[in-house]
Homo-oligomer: A and B are copies of this chain.
Amino acid sequence: MREKLIAMATAARQAARIVSAAGAVLKNNALQNMADGIEKNTAEILAANTQDLEAAKIAGVSSVLLDRLMLNEKRIHEMAQGLREIAELPDPVGEVEHETARPNGLRIGRMRVPIGVIGMVYEARPNVTADAAGLCLKAGNSVILRGGSEAVHSNRMIGKFVSQGLQAAGLPEAAVQVVETTDRQVVAELLTLDGYIDCVIPRGGKKFLNWVARTASVPVIRHGDGNCHVYLDSPVDLSMAEEIAFNAKVQRPGVCNAMETLLVHQETASKVLPELFSRLSEAGVELRGCERARKIHPAVKAATAADWETEYLDLILAVRVVEDLDSAIKHIADYGSGHSEAIVTADYLHAERFLREVDAASVLVNASTRFTDGAQFGLGAEIGISTQKLHARGPMGVRELTTQKFIVRGRGQIRT
């Protein structure tokens, strides 16, 4: 197993030397080829996806997970369009920033360069295979993709057309490799390939990410793990509060920027919650609340301490009535995962304090947490949303998949 991965990583390293120097035209050709190949072979990809879906149904996975796993013609078309959009993004490689002349005549700048070989570990959504392949290639990296076992047939088939696209553009196929085994030990091995892999990007739940942190010796950029809050302050526009809270929970509950816990100022609770709880219940949301929330609506079950820590990724919502802004900020500091945190408020100073004091990848005022997303932020496609503090935080696009090196131009300077 380890030998096989080392062979893959060695091939990836050789390929990385080529794609890192390839220039935008070749890389964009490959991306267009991939998009065309995926679209032309929609039927074949759907057939592979059906195999995965049937196995998942037999295994009894939740409807939210089934939705993440499921492809259809529209989603496959979007996958191809995503690759075409990546082709149209500017190429950051080779760009030199902040070049300055020092008093001794040295010219010092920072050149943007690929990271090298990236390992990507993810679950469920097969479109990640195409997105990650496209983004890593555009940034001049090689990538080793290890999707979840539940999507193995879909990922293998997408990987096939990615390979063909690289080959047709004259780029090495080893620049994008899909690990086809479902053995979880593969992930552990990938995480310890120091010297072969420059970084691993894991996407998944909290437990999985904690295991990755303990296991990895290669650098990790932690993704996912979105225990997101919306705090309805006082004073507040009640209609705005209701709309944002409803949107953050219901518009797409299975994704990491959906709200998991609603915090409500005690003076706002009785004004906004009765109507909001009714709407949420009608939309199929299970409500779990503190004592004060339960008094407002009969549909609210009792929340336990575990609810404050849980990323449901489902139509379940925890609700807590809080004293004031400080209590809300403290709750978020205690339980938040550093993903997306929103306040709905009419108070200027409260908004500024929330923006400044809440420590998360994305802090929002009077907007739904659902906006934390590369495309919504204007960054183009994203490989995920980093919830760690180093290197990249929040939506990660092509630029965040590169690094910089200092370049120094002299004419014989020595240090005295």
Contacts and interface: CB of A to CB of B under 8 A. Distances in A.
Contacts of A395: 406
Nearest to A394: B406
A71 interface: no
Interface residues of A, number: 72
Contacts of A116: 359, 389
Given A408-B365, A410-B365, A376 B415 contact: yes
A37 B409 CA distance: 40
Contacts of A377: 102, 108, 406
A390 B200 CA distance: 11
Given A115-B389, A390-B390, A362 B414 contact: no
A10 interface: no
Interface string A106-117: 101001010110
Interface stretch (A42-50, A240-248, A262-270, A316-324): A240-248
A219 interface: yes
Interface stretch (A59-67, A182-190, A276-284, A366-374): A366-374
Number of copies: 2
Nearest to A338: B405
A220 interface: yes
B214 A412 contact: no
A367 B413 contact: yes
A143 interface: no
Interface in A353-407: 355-357, 359-368, 370-372, 376-378, 388-391, 393-395, 403-407
Given A21-B356, A198-B389, A219-B220, A415 B371 contact: yes
Contact of A111 (B217, B355, B415): B355
Interface string A210-236: 100110111111000000000000000
Contact of A94 (B351, B356, B365, B410): B356
Given A391-B391, A405-B394, A406-B394, A106 B371 contact: yes
A249 B415 CA distance: 11
Contacts of A394: 405-406
A113 B389 CA distance: 10
Nearest to A344: B412
Given A21-B357, A409-B365, A403 B389 contact: yes
A100 interface: yes
Contacts of A271: none
Nearest to A377: B108
A10 to B, nearest CB: 13
Q: Which 5 A-B pairs rank lowest in CB-CB distance, beginning with the nearest? A: A367-B410, A247-B414, A370-B415, A390-B391, A364-B408
Interface of A: 21, 94, 100, 102, 106, 108, 111, 113, 115-116, 192, 194, 198-199, 210, 213-214, 216-221, 237, 240, 243-244, 246-248, 251, 351, 355-357, 359-368, 370-372, 376-378, 388-391, 393-395, 403-416
